[in-house]
């Protein structure tokens, strides 16, 4: 008899534990539902951005400059940010190097970027998210005298495992908020 067994209440005979699980490729139905969930999450994020009075901002050149500034900031604060990675200092330096390359934002260290941005700018960072139960996330800077300007840095955050993405957002222009009427 197997030394690790579970009693089956109906037959009173010991039954061996199952030690492995079948791992199969996701079905076509699963892939379709994942696609539709992703589209649904994007729609939710767009609706939240708009309902909070923002719109996406295209900042192609500024994004690369900000990336380099944040990489340099994190490098200068390495002792603080190394613990963000469970794999230790070597993983930290490798991921930091990858973050400095345009288009490489997806890593464990990248998850610390909103916190680094809050500390770098001494401002609250507000993320408008696609998470169904968490519309916004606020990240306060750690530094003394932080948040002196009183204004938040606001970003959109598409929070889907494997496709996380941040975008700059700006307040909608006043024209978008004006109701046009025709004189009678």
| Residue 149's CATH number | 3.90.70.80
Domain membership of residue 176 (yes or no) is no
Residue 183 reports pLDDT greater than 70: no
Q: Report which of residues 2 and 170 the model is more confident about.
A: 170
Domain membership of residue 124 (yes or no) is yes
List, in sequence order, every residue forming a beta bridge with 14; answer none if it has no partner: 7
**Assigned token pair, 75:** 């490098």
Tens of pLDDT along 94-111? 999 988 886 666 678 888
**Assigned token pair, 83:** 């613990």
Domain membership of residue 116 (yes or no) is yes
Domain membership of residue 178 (yes or no) is no
Residue 5 reports pLDDT greater than 60: no
Domain membership of residue 122 (yes or no) is yes
Percent of the chain whose pLDDT exceeds 70: 63
Contacts of 101 (CB under 8 A, 6+ apart): none
Is the CB of residue 109 less than 8 Å from the CB of residue 115? no
Q: Report which of residues 95 and 38 the model is more confident about.
A: 95
Query: Whole-number mean pLDDT of the chain?
Result: 74
Phi and psi angles of residue 34, each rounded to the nearest 5 degrees, phi first: -65, -40
Domain membership of residue 106 (yes or no) is yes
Domain membership of residue 177 (yes or no) is no
Structurally, the chain folds into a number of domains equal to 1
pTM for the model stands at: 0.68
Domain membership of residue 41 (yes or no) is no
**Domain around 121:** 53-171
Residue 150 reports pLDDT greater than 90: no
Residue 181 reports pLDDT greater than 50: no
The pLDDT confidence band at residue 75, using thresholds 50, 70 and 90, is very high
Q: In this structure, what is the dihedral angle of CA atoms 14, 17, 22, 23, given to the nearest 10 degrees?
A: 160
pLDDT for res 42? 86
């Amino acid at each position: 008899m197997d030394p690790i067994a579970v009693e089956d209440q109906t037959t009173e005979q010991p039954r061996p534990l199952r030690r492995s699980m079948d791992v199969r490729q996701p079905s076509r139905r699963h892939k379709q539902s994942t696609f539709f969930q992703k589209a649904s999450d994007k729609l939710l994020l767009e609706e939240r951005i708009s309902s909070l009075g923002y719109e996406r901002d295209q900042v192609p050149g500024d994004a690369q400059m900000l990336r380099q500034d944040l990489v340099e900031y994190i490098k200068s604060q390495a002792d603080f940010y190394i613990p963000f990675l469970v794999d230790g200092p070597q993983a930290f330096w490798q991921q930091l190097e990858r973050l400095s390359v345009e288009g490489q934002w997806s890593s464990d260290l990248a998850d610390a970027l909103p916190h680094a941005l809050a500390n770098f700018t001494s401002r609250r960072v507000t993320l408008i998210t696609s998470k169904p139960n968490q519309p916004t996330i606020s990240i306060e800077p750690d530094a003394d005298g932080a948040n002196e300007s009183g204004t938040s840095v606001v970003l959109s955050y598409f929070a889907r495992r494997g496709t996380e993405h941040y975008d700059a957002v700006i307040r909608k222009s006043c024209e978008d908020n004006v109701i046009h009427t025709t004189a009678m």
